[in-house]
Structure 1
């Protein structure tokens, strides 16, 4: 495999891709913060967030700011070809020293690819859990599209698996041998047991009234959306009864599939996806 560090820009994804169809589907939000938590379980990435990010003081604001540029990379299309490289450049100064004295850098190909892999995994898991089963051909197509997407960042692709089968082996190895319960990841799921922090400007009596159901939903979606191995590493409570409820919930969402296209576009797609389909003059994917 060759490094993708040339100045020529890969052809962007477009409205005919499965990635455009699914990445901005609002049902993907039901997996909770799966991608963000998994990212921070890679030691180098978790350390970078710990050292350089406002994640601990502005957790939800930071997540929103991070998600936007990724969506812009996917949905930027031919009219915004440099978006991925701008995302890359945000990370140039994110570097430092690990607790063991080794160095890390956000643009290390293995570190950067792991972050990308979690977004691909997030989409695959969300589609199969809440939208529809994917055929092997669909999975291979999504993986090939993810290679195009990754190359839009202009980062070396030496860490990127060659094909779908190799990606599956990579993902299994990362979960079983590489990820750890880093402090950043533990903090990111702390509300599972401690409850969500009160938003600014929400009166305390109001928050006391509404937080119990919100906390229950946040816990259910967060823990349910995590791979079993990472639940164990992060000590996230999850029972057999929880698993049965989660499976019933997922099945109920999938049963909404036939009526989903009838809902307003603003309900079905995130703003980045809606703008992209409108810009391309193409009907929204069903």
Structure 2
């Protein structure tokens, strides 16, 4: 596979990105994205995230999955995703300008998906070797180039990416208002899904809210918890690690489950079209 070819069944990304166990990571990627000042401001100024949270998340996830699993159409789909962002621009509170298609900003959004996939695999499926992490990073470069955005902000290799990631978490990301709103569900509770009456949701939501807090806060990087002022005790961490270990113990039985349970629709469609991951 060369960098100009789309990802396919020979990639680790195909094997894991559409795995439904990735959903257990929670909103890690979305929150990380919104902690970049320019990206958080773009969502604040232009998105329906605040008024139609579930709709926004659904619209965002589908095109990304379609880019990964698009096969021969990946570049076409990726450019369409890019073009959604052409008019997302404006002014930061300090008077500087932002644009969603700034290469560094666009790459940060992409990098959060890469981080979430690696974290999800290692937490809920299995450890990755360094060579596998390098392979996944090289595949992420191919995936990013499907968008047709300048790759000047993309680190050269896995080692450079690790240095980039460390610097971003330590020096660049902030508790932007958009990220705080997104994680506010941890304390305020999830909003009622569409078509669920508010009165009914008040009755049935407590267990959902408890699980949402556990999954959301547990899946965050410690630096994110620190910046967003999210309490997480040693006992919480022990419970989370037991939960993750329990999921990993299901690995032997996982292949026996129906594919509709194991993979998201975009992945299943790609497997039917181009073959299963090898």
Task: Provide Cα deviations, 1:250-285, integer angstroms capped at 9, x if missing partner.
Answer: 0000010011000000000000000000011x2356
Aligned mate of 1:271, from 241, 247, 265: 265
Structure 1 residue 127 and structure 2 residue 124: aligned?
no
SS of 1:78's partner is helix
Deviation at 1:147, TM superposition (A): 0.4
Deviation at 1:78, TM superposition (A): 1.2
Deviation at 1:204, TM superposition (A): 4.0
TM-score when normalising by structure 1: 0.94
Task: Provide Cα deviations, 1:178-223, integer angstroms capped at 9, x if missing partner.
Answer: 0000000000010100111122432344323321100000000000
Structure 1 residue 84 and structure 2 residue 87: aligned?
no
| 2:227 corresponds to | 233
Q: Aligned partners of 1:183 and 1:265: how far apart in 2?
A: 39
User: 2:68–2:74: 8 Å Cα contact kept in structure 1?
Assistant: no
Task: Provide Cα deviations, 1:208-254, integer angstroms capped at 9, x if missing partner.
Answer: 33211000000000000000011010011211111000000000000
Residues 107-126 of structure 1 correspond to what in structure 2 (within 5 A)? 107-126=101-120
Residues 139-178 of structure 1 correspond to what in structure 2 (within 5 A)? 139-178=133-172
Task: Provide Cα deviations, 1:19-56, integer angstroms capped at 9, x if missing partner.
Answer: 00000000000000000000000000000000000000
Gaps of 5+ in 1: 1-8
Deviation at 1:110, TM superposition (A): 0.6
Deviation at 1:79, TM superposition (A): 4.1
Q: What's the RMSD between the two structures over aligned residues?
A: 1.2
* Change beyond 3 A, Cα 1:11–1:262: same
| 2:276 corresponds to | 283
Aligned mate of 1:195, from 183, 186, 189: 189
TM-score when normalising by structure 2: 0.97
Q: Aligned partners of 1:79 and 1:89: how far apart in 2?
A: 15
* Change beyond 3 A, Cα 1:284–1:150: closer
Runs of 4+ in 1 over 3 A off after TM superposition: none
Q: Aligned partners of 1:80 and 1:125: how far apart in 2?
A: 24
User: 2:28–2:220: 8 Å Cα contact kept in structure 1?
Assistant: yes
Q: Aligned partners of 2:125 and 2:203: how far apart in 1?
A: 33
Gaps of 5+ in 2: none
Q: Please, which moves more after superposition, 235-244 or 261-270?
A: 235-244
Q: How many residue pairs end up in the alignment?
A: 276
| 2:4 corresponds to | 10
Q: Aligned partners of 1:109 and 1:204: how far apart in 2?
A: 41
Q: Aligned partners of 2:276 and 2:66: how far apart in 1?
A: 19
Deviation at 1:105, TM superposition (A): 0.3
| 2:214 corresponds to | 220
